[in-house]
Amino acid sequence: MENPLVASMAVTARLAALTDATQRLFFASVCTGWSNAWKQHLLLATSTTDPKQQPSRVDNNSGSARDGSARVDNNNGSARNGSAVATATSVSYNSGFGNHFSTEALPGALPAGQNNPKRCPYGLYAEQISGTAFTAPRARNRRTWCYRIRPSVSHRPFQSVAANPFENDFIAMKNDPSQMRWSPLPIPSRVKQKMRVDFIEGISTMGGVGDPAAKSGLGIYLYAMNSDMGDKAFYNADGEMLLVPQQGSLRVKTEMGILLVVPNEILVIPRGVKFSVDLGIAESGARGYVLETFEGHFLLPELGPIGSNGLANPRDFESPVAWYEDRDVPYTVLTKFGGKLFSSAMDHSPFDVVAWHGNMTPYKYDLRKFICINSVSKDHPDPSIYTVLTCPSAATPGVAVVDFVVFPPRWMVAEGTFRPPWYHRNTMTEFMGMVWGKYDAKQGFLPGGSSLHPSMSAHGPDAATFIGASDEKKAPLPVKFDKGLAFMFETKYQLKLTASATEGKHRDQEYLECWRHLLAQELHPRCQVKPFMALSSSGNAVELVINFEFSFSSRGRVPRMAWTEL
């Protein structure tokens, strides 16, 4: 094969006269099948012809991110040593939680030895995304350097959006200590209802607390969608978002790369990172849950006496590798800022980060990999043993702004123990969701449904569960609960609810009925003394049985004795 450098010199003069778009078309059509080394020689040769001219980019996406491909880092240290194809069915990931990753979609796109050189490789723009203050402790500092085709500031002015699904005016909402439960949010039908609803349009606010402008509090939402976001992106300036898909797979484009997320997995998007949610292949709709924390970041919980392993292992978290699209098309970028929704227009795709390094990145986690900790002797431990992620409070150690807790399939082996969750009044607020199957503490909790047990409002198993789990005649055999996957958002705050949550038709108005049939337990049941011989008033020997019963009056417990002659 001809030397790449000779080939590049032969076409440099001709390419220098072409427009940037024409150069990209040339590379996409003529250089098909060439190695990245050849492409890089041509790119560098073209870019050095005129220092003021922006270098061309190889667009491997054929105008569509869904069916295109890009070379990505396969997490082996260098894109030069390995590659993968980012298609709709196969995506590579970086492994680890909170790691500092380095990844590039084109070889040599990451600057060597510094963050912002005078001229970045390929003429890219260096842009840092800071998720914490510059002076935050190093262990908690979050930031990522992006090397992109155009800087993020290349957009039109922000415009306010009237149709805002994020209801964050919590002061106007009502407090309610009632225990509540909701049926699944229906997925809108594109056929029957003849409407297209994307991820943002399909958001429904359940409630929240605090002030996003003050970076304090949180919001809880549901989503139900039936279409892709298309040429529309979103970033949240108010907080970090945790998505729990319940039905339907998602293909999520982010500035750091692509993630495929399915039910049984969760996705975390850091504050400020742009993303776009599309339906997975062959999906007609999707729904799930969203938790937004206005303060802090999600972290792995401390393990304490558990040791160095268990719960959610860091190696099982997956972050995207660099992927980009170079498309000059009208794009809309939506922004959540101070609880309000804004939009700005761009003339290109914002997903044009060719390389990046840092520890502020989206990530996903498969809940099926969670390592359960449980009692192997007696008693039912606190649900904190199922914590996947925590957003700790800066004010009080050990108290969380919000915890994400999962109740996965697991063995229950405690002897002489009421194995379902016990009856409880909690200073924390518990919002629960059901991914699939059924909950082991009560009936009627449907997949896609939700429940809320406010701070200090009593809750626990329903009557049927209590009776079945209290049956002492049942042998205490080990039981594997594999009939469902539930989760909980547990927060230190009292939540305020939207009118649609408290008055909507998907609220179960009969929820309290599940506890109505819990019967009063007899503290002093009737007792019977063994038969014995006694003399009757006539002097004859008789056999008597004495029954003792207790009644209650203003004087306290009063025993009453009766006997029966046999």
Asked if the model's pLDDT at residue 518 lies above 50, the reply is: yes
Asked if the model's pLDDT at residue 29 lies above 60, the reply is: no
Confidence of residue 543 (pLDDT cuts 50, 70, 90): low
Residue bearing the bigger pLDDT, 323 or 193: 323
Q: How many angstroms separate the CA atoms of 328 and 121, rounded?
A: 21
Contacts of 7 (CB under 8 A, 6+ apart): 38, 41, 42
Confidence of residue 423 (pLDDT cuts 50, 70, 90): confident
What total number of domains does the chain contain? 3
Could you give phi then psi for residue 26, rounded to 5 degrees?
-60, -50
Asked if the structure places residue 265 within a domain, the reply is: yes
Confidence of residue 18 (pLDDT cuts 50, 70, 90): very low
Least confident of 190-199, 302-311, 423-432: 190-199
Least confident of 327-336, 455-464, 481-490: 455-464
197 and 245 in a common domain: yes
Closest CA to 203 of 293, 286, 281, 283: 286
Confidence of residue 83 (pLDDT cuts 50, 70, 90): very low
Least confident of 135-139, 366-370, 506-510, 553-557: 553-557
Residue bearing the bigger pLDDT, 545 or 140: 140
Asked if the model's pLDDT at residue 329 lies above 70, the reply is: yes
The pLDDT assigned to 528 comes to 54
Q: What is the largest CA-CA distance in the chain?
A: 135
The pLDDT assigned to 531 comes to 59
What is the arithmetic mean of pLDDT over 511-535?
A: 70
Asked if the model's pLDDT at residue 36 lies above 70, the reply is: no
Asked if the model's pLDDT at residue 501 lies above 50, the reply is: yes
Closest CA to 55 of 26, 4, 20, 11: 20
Q: How many angstroms separate the CA atoms of 476 and 379, rounded?
A: 13
Q: Which among 340, 368, 396 is the end of a domain?
A: 368
Query: Can you point out the beta strands (E) in 120-239?
Result: 125-130, 143-148, 159-160, 180-182, 203-211, 216-225, 232-236
The pLDDT assigned to 468 comes to 80
333 and 354 in a common domain: yes
Asked if the structure places residue 84 within a domain, the reply is: no
Confidence of residue 536 (pLDDT cuts 50, 70, 90): low
Least confident of 57-61, 119-123, 287-291: 57-61
Asked if the model's pLDDT at residue 152 lies above 60, the reply is: yes
Asked if the structure places residue 71 within a domain, the reply is: no
The strand pair at 496-497 and 203-211 is best described as: antiparallel
89-129: per-residue pLDDT in tens?
Answer: 578 999 999 999 999 999 999 999 999 999 999 999 999 99
Asked if the structure places residue 510 within a domain, the reply is: yes
Contacts of 113 (CB under 8 A, 6+ apart): none
346-387: per-residue pLDDT in tens?
Answer: 999 999 999 999 999 999 999 999 999 999 898 888 889 999
Asked if the model's pLDDT at residue 391 lies above 50, the reply is: yes
Could you give phi then psi for residue 37, rounded to 5 degrees?
-60, -45
Residue bearing the bigger pLDDT, 228 or 473: 228
SS3 337: strand
The answer to whether 507 and 182 have CB atoms below 8 angstroms apart is yes
Q: How many angstroms separate the CA atoms of 206 and 495, rounded?
A: 9
The pLDDT assigned to 146 comes to 98
Asked if the model's pLDDT at residue 469 lies above 70, the reply is: yes
The strand pair at 232-236 and 331-337 is best described as: parallel
The angle, 0 to 180 degrees and rounded to 10, between the axes of the packed helices 36-47 and 4-16 is 40
Q: Which among 321, 352, 368 is the end of a domain?
A: 368
Q: What number of other Cβ atoms are within 10 A of residue 515's Cβ? A: 17
Query: Binding residue per annotation — 459?
Result: yes
Query: Binding residue per annotation — 292?
Result: no
Q: How many angstroms separate the CA atoms of 387 and 299, rounded?
A: 11
Asked if the structure places residue 140 within a domain, the reply is: no
The pLDDT assigned to 496 comes to 97
What is the arithmetic mean of pLDDT over 477-486?
A: 90
Identify the top-confidence range among 287-301, 512-526, 533-547, 549-563: 287-301
The pLDDT assigned to 1 comes to 43
Residue bearing the bigger pLDDT, 190 or 46: 190
Query: Binding residue per annotation — 439?
Result: yes
Asked if the model's pLDDT at residue 50 lies above 50, the reply is: no
What is the arithmetic mean of pLDDT over 274-283?
A: 93
Confidence of residue 553 (pLDDT cuts 50, 70, 90): very low
Identify the top-confidence range among 12-21, 249-258, 516-525: 249-258
438 and 465 in a common domain: yes
Mean pLDDT of the chain: 82
The pLDDT assigned to 554 comes to 43
Residue bearing the bigger pLDDT, 180 or 525: 180
H/E stretch holding 499 reads helix 499-503
Query: Binding residue per annotation — 493?
Result: no
Asked if the structure places residue 113 within a domain, the reply is: no
The pLDDT assigned to 20 comes to 47
Asked if the model's pLDDT at residue 42 lies above 90, the reply is: no
Asked if the model's pLDDT at residue 17 lies above 90, the reply is: no
Starting at the earlier edge strand, list the strands of the sheet with 265-269: 93-95, 317-320, 363-366, 265-269, 240-247, 286-293, 216-225, 203-211, 496-497
What is the arithmetic mean of pLDDT over 510-530?
A: 74
397 and 364 in a common domain: no
386 and 348 in a common domain: no
Confidence of residue 467 (pLDDT cuts 50, 70, 90): confident
Which amino acid is located at 181 in the chain? R
Asked if the structure places residue 379 within a domain, the reply is: yes
The pLDDT assigned to 191 comes to 74
Report CA-CA distances (Å) from 375 to 201, 412, 466, 468, 484.
44, 8, 20, 20, 20
The pLDDT assigned to 473 comes to 73
Q: How many angstroms separate the CA atoms of 66 and 272, rounded?
A: 23
531 and 394 in a common domain: no
The pLDDT assigned to 84 comes to 35
Residue with tokens 């925590």: 390
The pLDDT assigned to 539 comes to 66
331 and 207 in a common domain: yes
281 and 209 in a common domain: yes
Asked if the model's pLDDT at residue 172 lies above 50, the reply is: yes
Contacts of 194 (CB under 8 A, 6+ apart): none
Query: Can you point out the beta strands (E) in 350-439?
Result: 353-358, 363-366, 387-392, 400-407, 410-412, 429-437
Q: What percent of the chain shows pLDDT beyond 90?
A: 61
Residue 525 β-bridge partners: none
The boundaries of the domain holding residue 431 are 369-515
CATH number of the domain to which 439 belongs: 2.60.120.10
Starting at the earlier edge strand, list the strands of the sheet with 180-182: 180-182, 450-453, 429-437, 484-491, 400-407, 387-392
335 and 246 in a common domain: yes
Q: How many angstroms separate the CA atoms of 397 and 304, rounded?
A: 14
The catalytic residue positions are 380
Helices of type H across 114-159? none
The answer to whether 201 and 225 have CB atoms below 8 angstroms apart is yes
In terms of residues, how long is the chain?
566
Asked if the model's pLDDT at residue 28 lies above 60, the reply is: no
The pLDDT assigned to 240 comes to 98
Least confident of 34-38, 81-85, 115-119, 328-332: 81-85
395 and 314 in a common domain: no
478 and 357 in a common domain: no
Q: Could you write out the three-class secondary structure of 434-459?
A: EEEECCCCCCCCCCCCEEEECCCCCE
Residue bearing the bigger pLDDT, 59 or 308: 308
300 and 230 in a common domain: yes
The pLDDT assigned to 166 comes to 98
Confidence of residue 443 (pLDDT cuts 50, 70, 90): confident
Structure tokens at 390: 């925590």
Structure tokens at 197: 């609803």
Q: How many angstroms separate the CA atoms of 292 and 279, rounded?
A: 21
Q: Which among 368, 397, 422 is the end of a domain?
A: 368
Asked if the structure places residue 356 within a domain, the reply is: yes
Contacts of 390 (CB under 8 A, 6+ apart): 298, 299, 300, 301, 400, 402, 403, 404
